[in-house]
């Protein structure tokens, strides 16, 4: 199913996301309130209430929870996520809040002001609340959606081919309770030029429908006539544009100064989410550079002894919005290619040094890119940047290739954990990598980043890394 079909899911499948969003609005208010009020109650119950410190802690915790939940997209109501995935997001959100609180208490040297028993009970109570309510909310939304979708009666105007495809997809997605009534169907090999508007009007009058689905005909004039007839109805009308039937599209409705529009692709994350991602990148890169400093120095010394040349390799690559920057790596080859023609590393490549083969196999040559992350040129997770020469070559051969740069490039990414790394001998190999990068961009959130980081550690030694 294409992203456009997923986004529509012909209205009734989207009921699940709609109900989740409605419930999410209530949870968005309830969760911080529970986190704030529960600390007051627990502190009073245990006799640990401090009028100077508890209110500050409670309010700060509520605000931190709100911001962290925003970063983890906890209340977006995505119908593609299961109830347990939502509960996992809730647990991860609260675990992050606990981490922030712990670090704050440590830096303020205020740990002695708060009872360990009180804090442990509070962490447990709020954690159980978040996980439990999100499980129940997802189940409630699913039941509400199922009950409503069973009553859905849809009319269809379009080609026989699209009708058959839609019916098959509905059955595959478990939408068996829905009824599709063909109102006007034209054969696969024919256009919609000869449809009968009078027949459409009569069938609509004789049938009670909850919605009408229209496949966009090839003729704009025919579409205008169909919409003119349907304009007399009160039920929703859904349009299926064939030109949006592409995996590269991730459409959503929007408004530009009050003018309705359809965003075909592009970043949909909020400014707050980007800022939170940047804060995590900055803090993590600083911490990792400090912890890995002995290893980085040791690798630099070994490179000097192993072969002639600089320790670091600086290569010009494209960053966010196509802005060039110099990507840092440990030098692993006897050559330093950074021109208009860059040959990809291949298996048993004679240019790779003895130490370089080890570094590349374990991806240790990428560690200097933590400096790029600290500078703000890269992120810990994102589409991997390619050499400028490769970008110029593939941008004209692979559809939507440059859309990889709508997010900051990363040290690791979704394509890499899927094994789509190393030499791209065929155009299909690069297309598969771009497809994985677009999937990451369309579905980006902080929890997805965490999943990719954990998978990167598990699959550190890749078979395609050479």
Domains of the chain by start residue, with CATH: 3-148 (no CATH), 151-263 (3.40.50), 271-458 (no CATH)
Q: To the nearest 10°, the Cα dihedral for 226, 227, 230, 236?
A: 130
What residues contact 25, with CB distance under 8 A and at least 6 apart?
75
Sign of CA dihedral 98, 100, 103, 109: negative
Q: What is the pLDDT of residue 147?
A: 57
Asked whether the predicted pLDDT for residue 302 surpasses 70, the reply is yes
Asked whether the predicted pLDDT for residue 231 surpasses 90, the reply is no
Q: What is the pLDDT of residue 463?
A: 58
At 5, the pLDDT band (50, 70, 90 cuts) reads very low
Asked whether the predicted pLDDT for residue 1 surpasses 50, the reply is no
Q: Which residues are registered as beta bridge partners of 326?
A: 316
Sign of CA dihedral 136, 138, 141, 147: negative
At 433, the pLDDT band (50, 70, 90 cuts) reads very high
Residue with tokens 């490549």: 349
Q: What is the pLDDT of residue 290?
A: 92
- Which helix (H) or strand (E) segment holds residue 37: the answer is helix 15-45
- 117 or 234, higher pLDDT: 117
Residue with tokens 């700060």: 60
Q: What is the pLDDT of residue 466?
A: 54
Asked whether the predicted pLDDT for residue 261 surpasses 60, the reply is yes
Q: What is the pLDDT of residue 374?
A: 95
Q: What is the pLDDT of residue 292?
A: 94
The encoded tokens of residue 120 equal: 């442990």
- 147 or 455, higher pLDDT: 455
Q: What is the pLDDT of residue 267?
A: 67
Asked whether the predicted pLDDT for residue 24 surpasses 80, the reply is no
Q: What is the pLDDT of residue 385?
A: 92
Q: What is the pLDDT of residue 330?
A: 94
Instruction: Establish how many alpha carbons lie within 13 A of residue 452's alpha carbon, considering only the half-sphere containing its beta carbon.
Output: 28
- 304 or 4, higher pLDDT: 304
Asked whether the predicted pLDDT for residue 4 surpasses 60, the reply is no
CB atoms closer than 10 angstroms to residue 274: 15
- Among residues of the chain, what percentage have pLDDT more than 70? 81
Q: What is the DSSP string of 150-177?
A: TT-EEEEEEEHHHHHHHHHHHHHTT-TT
- Among residues of the chain, what percentage have pLDDT more than 90? 18
Q: What is the pLDDT of residue 12?
A: 41
- 191 or 159, higher pLDDT: 159
- 4 or 336, higher pLDDT: 336
- pTM greater than 0.75 (yes/no): no
Asked whether the predicted pLDDT for residue 188 surpasses 70, the reply is no
Q: What is the pLDDT of residue 194?
A: 61
At 16, the pLDDT band (50, 70, 90 cuts) reads low
- pLDDT tens per residue, range 78-98: 555 567 777 888 888 888 888
Asked whether the predicted pLDDT for residue 458 surpasses 60, the reply is yes
Instruction: Establish how many alpha carbons lie within 13 A of residue 112's alpha carbon, considering only the half-sphere containing its beta carbon.
Output: 1
SS3 398: coil
Q: What is the pLDDT of residue 384?
A: 93
Q: Could you tell me which of 2, 445, 8 has the C-alpha nearest to residue 253?
A: 8
Highest mean pLDDT out of 103-112, 336-345, 379-388: 379-388
- pLDDT tens per residue, range 135-168: 888 777 666 665 555 556 788 888 888 888 877 8
Highest mean pLDDT out of 46-50, 243-247, 380-384: 380-384
Average pLDDT in the chain = 80
Distances (CA, A) of 40 to 33, 51, 96, 272, 341: 11, 10, 21, 29, 65
Whether the Cβ atoms of residue 306 and residue 355 lie closer than 8 Å to each other: yes
Asked whether the predicted pLDDT for residue 461 surpasses 70, the reply is no
Asked whether the predicted pLDDT for residue 408 surpasses 80, the reply is yes
Distances (CA, A) of 24 to 64, 86, 133, 391: 18, 11, 10, 41
At 287, the pLDDT band (50, 70, 90 cuts) reads very high
d(CA 286, CA 293): 10
- pLDDT tens per residue, range 319-378: 988 899 999 999 998 877 665 666 777 776 788 888 988 898 888 999 999 999 999 999
- 22 or 333, higher pLDDT: 333
């Amino acid at each position: 199913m294409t992203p456009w079909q997923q986004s529509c899911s012909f209205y009734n499948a989207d009921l699940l996301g709609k109900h989740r969003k409605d419930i999410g609005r209530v949870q968005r208010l309830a969760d911080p309130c529970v986190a704030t009020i529960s600390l007051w109650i627990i502190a009073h119950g245990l006799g640990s209430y401090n009028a100077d410190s508890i209110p500050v802690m409670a309010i700060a915790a509520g605000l931190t929870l709100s911001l962290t939940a925003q970063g983890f997209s906890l209340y977006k109501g995505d119908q593609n996520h299961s109830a347990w995935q939502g509960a996992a997001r809730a647990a991860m959100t609260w675990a992050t809040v606990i981490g922030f609180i712990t670090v704050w208490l440590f830096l303020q040297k205020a740990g002695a002001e708060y009872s360990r028993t009180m804090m442990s009970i509070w962490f447990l109570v709020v954690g159980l609340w978040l996980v439990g309510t999100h499980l129940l909310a997802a189940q409630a939304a699913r039941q509400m959606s199922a009950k409503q979708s069973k009553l859905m009666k849809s009319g269809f105007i379009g080609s026989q081919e699209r009708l058959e495809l839609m019916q098959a997809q509905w059955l595959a997605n478990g939408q068996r309770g829905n009824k599709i009534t063909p109102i006007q169907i034209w054969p696969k090999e024919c256009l919609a030029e000869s449809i009968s508007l009078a027949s459409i009007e009569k069938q609509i009058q004789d049938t009670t429908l909850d919605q009408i689905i229209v496949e966009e005909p090839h003729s704009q004039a025919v579409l205008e006539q169909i919409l003119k007839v349907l304009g007399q109805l009160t039920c929703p009308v859904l349009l299926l544009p064939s030109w949006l039937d592409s995996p590269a599209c991730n459409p959503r409705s929007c408004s530009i100064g009050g003018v309705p529009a359809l965003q075909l692709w592009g970043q949909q994350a909020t400014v707050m989410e980007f800022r939170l991602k940047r804060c995590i990148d900055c803090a993590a890169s600083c911490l990792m550079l400090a912890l890995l400093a002995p290893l980085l120095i040791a690798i630099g010394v070994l490179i000097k002894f192993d072969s002639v040349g600089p320790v670091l390799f600086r290569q010009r690559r494209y960053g966010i919005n196509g802005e060039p920057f110099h990507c840092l790596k440990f030098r692993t080859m006897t050559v330093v290619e950074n021109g208009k023609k860059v040959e990809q590393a291949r298996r048993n490549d004679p240019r790779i040094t003895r130490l370089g083969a080890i570094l590349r196999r374990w991806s240790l040559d990428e560690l200097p890119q933590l400096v790029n992350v600290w500078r703000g040129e890269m992120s810990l997770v994102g589409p991997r940047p390619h050499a400028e020469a490769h970008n110029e070559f593939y941008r004209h051969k692979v559809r939507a290739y440059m859309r990889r740069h709508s997010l900051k490039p990363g040290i690791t990414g979704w394509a890499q954990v899927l094994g789509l790394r190393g030499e791209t001998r065929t155009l299909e190999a690069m297309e598969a990598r771009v497809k994985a990068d677009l999937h990451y961009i369309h579905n980006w959130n902080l929890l997805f980043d965490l999943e990719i980081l954990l998978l990167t550690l598990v699959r550190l030694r890749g078979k395609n890394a050479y």
